[in-house]
Structure 1
């Protein structure tokens, strides 16, 4: 173990099964869907109302505005009802309930946290700080989503987490998002779509175009193409897939942060939004954007993606471009270096890489800066979040995997002006799983997706064996001294 002292706070963020959302629960077979609808339509109005009231008594107190959710699910099956007069609201709600189900977001785990300063520091005591923590919540089917917590670091270093609401709410998915043509074309080219079909769809569109405009252009090309063969169908399907993978979310400002849930939306993340690494990025002009890299997973393949927000109310979710957009663990530096953006990554599932770009959306030409060295990291290494700027250099919290698939947390120091240069590296783990931290869904793991500084201390939130999360505090001067003494 490292000689650096670590204070583990008496804080545990545990999964809570009672935090549930309502999701569509619609059978895939048309005949089963038709049978369910027939049973609902066979009831008279009084019977339908009685059944609905029983449902509302049992479930309404568990959700914000349950009736709006049920009506939205009714709309998903309404086209299957033929030859019926307009149904009453009671009947619509009952049908919506038949095609709905509760989903417990964090029934399996609440882990892999990252932490950033809150954009609103009003009312915080001098010397204190309000923070936002993102967490990976995992429920039934191992589907992951992003949850948030807020808390306060007191001037003297005590940490408290604000009470968590029992309610959770999904955002509005903006129905007609906008896209940048240059980025869209770049991604199409990476996907291999450079022919006449791509040109026919994209050329009439403006530099900023909407989903509706894209759909209209695709419909025009489909109409005008005399022989709509498999090549055109595949191209148009991929254009729409790319559009659906870039979307916008809006939350009501009335919702507490703990009530806001980012749940999978696009086809490439149907099995989860994993390991968001949030960072507070400061541009050269002083403007602030919160970015998060995360891993989209569809059950077969992974795809790194990017989230942008300034207020944690409106979020843009974007695909990333470039040959280096692969594997897990991309982590953005919190400012430009020499006028360029910088990113850590793990291209080969073994070593730690760095890359530079003129855009936060396009990444290529990675270079190795760190390889496994000690036995505790001899299987593979990676980052535990975005680098942290200190007077001594860029502090990178790392993770290493060693014998028996044990995950430990380490630390590395990179040169401030040239972060390709490693100037310090702990030989022993900074944090290893101990006691109850060893037991969980994946045993013997401590892992983080992002730390932050508060005065002279490093605040390190970390997951315990893919089950729950905790927080540790480390004296920054001790850690930097150990890193500088260790050499590269």
Structure 2
């Protein structure tokens, strides 16, 4: 369990709940042997085929013994290991020069040789966003789903989840995640649109969305989830950054149940940079987005197509010393009676990140009616060290019964929470 006492700052109540990376949590990922240089007077066979032929050379007793030892070695680390081995062997069948009739055990052993474990959150667990849990039955406060960016070896980012609750007094608790973790199956792929599905029997904290496409090869970064309301239906969308290792592009997740997901690229001038955030409902019959496609300022964009975004109009520019380098959004706007509450981040001297907020007009969000002159949250003296020093950052907050619940990351390493009374925050912004 996590500590849940709070300490009071001049404005936000920072909770001493720290969500840290756990290197013991692993998923199975495809292993594809790198080809070796062509050798003189040597038959040019791929490494995969050579491994395959070595397994074929084993007698059946040796196959069964080795498979049993592999299962014993990885017992308790993954669910349905034999099914995973089977699927991987089927995926690799196209790499083999021949396809003899194989026993079930030999087929599974082949799959085992072309997998490896990956500790997906060994280095960091940060940049969280938060949405109400679709199942609120039996809760006394506010149940939520937290998404977080997990980073492992090679600085590869994936998406993972936690669940938790906000008590009536504002205390935040996080449920212990499942020990096991798994990646989804790809159920459809059409162009740059991909559909994914997890085992419905799995817990949400087991589910990890790892890079799938070439555009995502080095990471799925900074998902900004929002519970989008349209005609009485709730759909959870998340804008995120796909990083290939050389280039970035904005993409979109879509899910109704956090079991099945659809992902697709976002297009247009407004989608050519990081940090897009979707409003939680249509405005004037159109989708609305906050974006920063010029690396410096925030824009309001309307669109009739969820996947196409034009240039929009600038609504916020750096104005205070703590945001002179650039500003950006910190998740989707929160709808209040008084307007749209948008958390922002600012970058100041020595790339020091801080979190602020603005209030946008309810009917016309291009109008800024309130803005924080000073940072609301800055890295505390004890929280400045980490993978990227001097950074506080969030990908989304949630309002619950007159209180804002704000998860945020510390120095790109771990995550924590703060809460603030909505009325007090609005008073500050309006003043």
- TM-score, L = length of structure 2: 0.93
Q: 1:417: Cα distance to partner?
A: 1.1
Question: Mind listing any 5+ residue stretches in structure 2 that lack a counterpart?
Answer: 1-8, 36-44
1:27 aligns with 2:42: no
Aligned CA-pair RMSD = 1.7
How is 1:236-255 mapped onto 2 (pairs within 5 angstroms)? 243=191, 245-255=192-202
1:343 is aligned to: 289
The number of residue pairs the alignment matches comes to 415
Q: Deviations over 1:320-343 (max 9, x none)?
A: 232322100000111122222211
* Cα separation, 2, equivalents of 1:396 and 1:334: 12
How is 1:19-418 mapped onto 2 (pairs within 5 angstroms)? 19-29=25-35, 30-82=45-97, 85-125=100-140, 128-175=141-188, 211=190, 243=191, 245-283=192-230, 285-418=231-364
8 A contact 1:381–1:398 mirrored in 2? yes
The counterpart of 2:408, out of the listed 459, 462, 476, is: 462
Higher helix share: 1
8 A contact 1:5–1:475 mirrored in 2? no
8 A contact 1:320–1:362 mirrored in 2? yes
Q: Deviations over 1:342-387 (max 9, x none)?
A: 1101111111111111232221132111111111111110000001
* Cα separation, 2, equivalents of 1:62 and 1:135: 22
* Cα separation, 2, equivalents of 1:73 and 1:359: 37
Q: 1:84: Cα distance to partner?
A: 6.1
* Cα separation, 2, equivalents of 1:281 and 1:78: 42
Q: 1:80: Cα distance to partner?
A: 4.1
- TM-score, L = length of structure 1: 0.82
* Cα separation, 2, equivalents of 1:268 and 1:297: 6
Q: 1:89: Cα distance to partner?
A: 2.0
Question: Mind listing any 5+ residue stretches in structure 1 that lack a counterpart?
Answer: 178-210, 212-242
* Cα separation, 1, equivalents of 2:163 and 2:13: 20
